């Protein structure tokens, strides 16, 4: 398997069924995310809006979304270091409204025929549902998915085999759009589907493991439930007695042991099984133990997250913020090339502040003073920092850095002028010096910070 590096990855899981994940989802999807996230910029999304095609009950949708969030986060946390985990951009689709906006726009470059060939929709037709009765959300499911991917300019989309066609559709749509508007606005993504785990069969040994078929082994259920699922797993139908020589091929217990068991012990067990020297129950006991051991860290992470909703919220808020940054960039370009921006345009994207809050008491401790910039120079060796020497009415002036050269600011914009400064922050190391405060700026609508002028006010005056 050729693992990509330094690419941007995006994938999503829909909160279908009851929102919980099973070992098929883990082996076929989440395990790849974890591997790939180590060497790539990774966006993982809870595709809650996609859930609406089938779930139209408020309570159930809410519950499924929460379950999926906990299941996914627990797997990630359980199998990754803290640094790796913090690098992942984990967010909810509905927390970034640009997904639906983008979908609406790309609808217009997409031929109907492309969607009519989509499997999800064709499958539904085969199940004796009249075409006229299929909801438009299901029909345009690939459009929302294309928007999900294109918004983030993803290079690679790791998915199960069943989703390959959706990535092809996405590429087609990106191509149409870029061609019509004569600009490479959207990147064409590539699917990533490791062959060896393309599809995990269910405990019935007959069909793909799937929640809706009830042939799953779960990770976050109670020990009793998981034990029952393991004990019900399909083995070798030709074997009537323990002493009969058994078959390990197509025997689901051994298939799963291949993933979760200890290789040398599995090998030995296979030999004994073929010789009729170990019972089905014994082998299943070992599978149960192996599953519990393998997912032990993830199960503990699950309990931890479930008992700490504030932490989950914080993870989602951080993910939303980072996802929005990219989604906004793309949509600005999209709006621009399609021609909705005119000389009368006033709309601009506003990035909401993160859901993380500080208390009023904490905020009340902020000290704000009027300062006059005595010196302003670009900081050597940095392409962002401007070094200010600021008189805030104390005996000595302070050194205060601002990192805004990237927005086109120069030292002249500050020199000799008065601004507001936050003056009771712990000093922060900036390259080889310490910044002894922060300049106050308005950050937001235009995304370029604006500095608040304090011209004409007494230097050193305390604003609060
Ligand atoms: P389910 O089929 O249980 O409803 P989903 O369709 O929600 O699962 O799939 C979520 C992710 O898990 C997708 O990337 C999908 O390809 C993958 N996946 C689901 N079932 C399996 C399986 N049996 N084997 C491998 N991957 C699977
Ligand atoms: N359709 C995917 C599935 O059923 C889920 C999904 C939604 C997705 N948006 C996506 C996957 C974007 C990859 C990229 O499994």
Specify whether the CB–CB gap between 90 and 316 falls below 8 A: yes
- Over residues 344-350, the mean pLDDT reads 88
Tens-digit pLDDT profile for residues 27-74: 988 999 999 999 999 999 999 999 999 999 999 999 999 999 999 999
| DSSP state letters, 105-130 | HHGGG--HHHHHT-HHHHHHHHTT--
220-293 and 360-463 share one fold? no
Q: Output the CA angle 166-49-47, nearest 5 degrees.
A: 60
- At residue 456, the 3 state secondary structure works out as coil
Q: Tell me 27's DSSP state.
A: I
- In which element (H, E) is residue 297 found? helix 296-306
Ligand 2, atom 14, residue with closest C-alpha = 11
Pocket test for ligand 2, best of 13, 94, 146, 156 (most atoms within 8 A of CB): 13
Task: Tell me the CATH architecture of domain 360-463.
Answer: Beta Barrel (2.40)
- In which element (H, E) is residue 137 found? helix 136-139
Pocket test for ligand 1, best of 9, 13, 24 (most atoms within 8 A of CB): 24
Least confident of 246-250, 287-291, 345-349: 345-349
Ligand nearest to the CA of 159: 1
pTM assigned to the model: 0.79
- List all residues whose CB is within 6 A of at least one atom of ligand 1: 13-14, 16-17, 24-25, 28-29, 159-160, 162-163, 199-200, 208-211
pLDDT at residue 407 in the model: 86
Distance (angstroms) between ligand 2 centre and the Cα of 167 equals 9
Mean pLDDT of the chain: 93
Between 382 and 198, where is the model more confident? 382
Distance CA 25, CA 218 (A): 10
Classify burial at 215, counting beta carbons within 10 Å of its beta carbon; exposed 0-12, middle 13-18, buried 19 or more.
Answer: buried
Ligand 1, atom 9, residue with closest C-alpha = 25
Domain ranges of the chain: 8-199+305-319, 220-293, 360-463
Task: Tell me the CATH architecture of domain 220-293.
Answer: Orthogonal Bundle (1.10)
Find tokens 């989309």 and name the residue. Answer: 157
Task: Tell me the CATH architecture of domain 8-199+305-319.
Answer: 3-Layer(aba) Sandwich (3.40)
Tens-digit pLDDT profile for residues 409-463: 999 999 999 999 999 998 998 888 999 999 999 875 456 788 999 999 999 999 9
What's the Cα-to-Cα distance from 354 to each of 41, 70, 449, rounded to whole Å? 20, 20, 17
Distance CA 353, CA 274 (A): 62
For residue 353, name the pLDDT band (cuts at 50, 70, 90).
low
Ligand 2, atom 15, residue with closest C-alpha = 13
């Amino acid at each position: 398997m050729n693992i990509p590096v330094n690419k941007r990855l995006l994938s999503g899981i829909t909160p279908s069924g009851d929102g919980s994940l099973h070992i098929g989802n883990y082996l076929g999807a989440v395990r790849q995310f974890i591997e790939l996230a180590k060497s790539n910029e990774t966006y993982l999304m809870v595709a809650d809006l996609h859930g609406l095609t089938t779930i139209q009950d408020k309570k159930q949708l809410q519950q499924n979304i929460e379950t999926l969030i906990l299941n996914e986060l627990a797997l990630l946390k359980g199998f990754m270091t803290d640094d790796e985990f913090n690098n992942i951009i984990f967010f909810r689709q509905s927390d970034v409204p640009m997904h639906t906006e983008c979908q609406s726009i790309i609808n217009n470059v997409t031929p109907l025929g492309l969607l009519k060939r989509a499997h999800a929709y064709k499958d539904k037709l085969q199940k004796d549902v009249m075409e006229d009765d299929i909801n438009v959300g299901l029909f345009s499911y690939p459009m929302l998915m294309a928007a999900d991917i294109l918004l983030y300019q993803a290079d690679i989309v790791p998915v199960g085999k069943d989703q390959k066609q959706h990535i092809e559709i996405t590429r087609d749509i990106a191509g149409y759009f870029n061609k019509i508007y004569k600009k490479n606005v959207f990147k064409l993504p590539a699917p990533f589907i490791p062959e060896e785990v393309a599809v995990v069969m269910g405990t019935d040994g007959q069909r793909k493991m799937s929640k809706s078929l009830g042939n799953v082994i779960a990770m976050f259920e109670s020990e009793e439930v998981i034990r029952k699922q393991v004990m019900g797993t399909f083995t070798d139908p030709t074997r009537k007695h323990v002493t009969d020589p058994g078959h390990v091929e197509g025997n689901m217990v051994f298939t799963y042991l291949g993933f979760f068991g200890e290789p040398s012990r599995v090998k030995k067990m296979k030999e004994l099984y073929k010789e009729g020297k170990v019972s089905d129950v014994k082998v299943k006991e070992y599978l149960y133990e192996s599953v519990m051991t393998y997912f032990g860290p993830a199960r503990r992470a699950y309990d931890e997250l479930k008992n700490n909703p504030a932490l989950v919220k914080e993870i989602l808020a951080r993910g939303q913020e980072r996802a929005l940054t990219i989604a906004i960039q793309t949509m600005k370009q999209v709006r621009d090339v399609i021609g909705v921006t005119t000389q009368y345009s006033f709309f601009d994207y506003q990035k909401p502040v993160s859901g993380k809050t500080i208390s009023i008491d904490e905020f009340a401790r902020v000290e704000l003073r009027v300062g006059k910039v005595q010196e302003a120079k670009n900081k050597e060796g940095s392409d962002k920092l401007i070094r200010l020497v600021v008189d805030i009415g104390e005996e000595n002036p302070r050194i205060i850095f601002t990192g805004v050269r990237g927005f086109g600011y120069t030292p002249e914009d500050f020199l000799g002028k008065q601004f507001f400064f936050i003056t009771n922050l712990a000093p922060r190391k900036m390259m080889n010096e310490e910044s002894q405060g922060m300049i106050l700026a308005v950050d937001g609508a235009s995304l370029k910070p604006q500095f608040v002028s304090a011209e004409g006010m007494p230097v050193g005056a305390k604003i609060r």
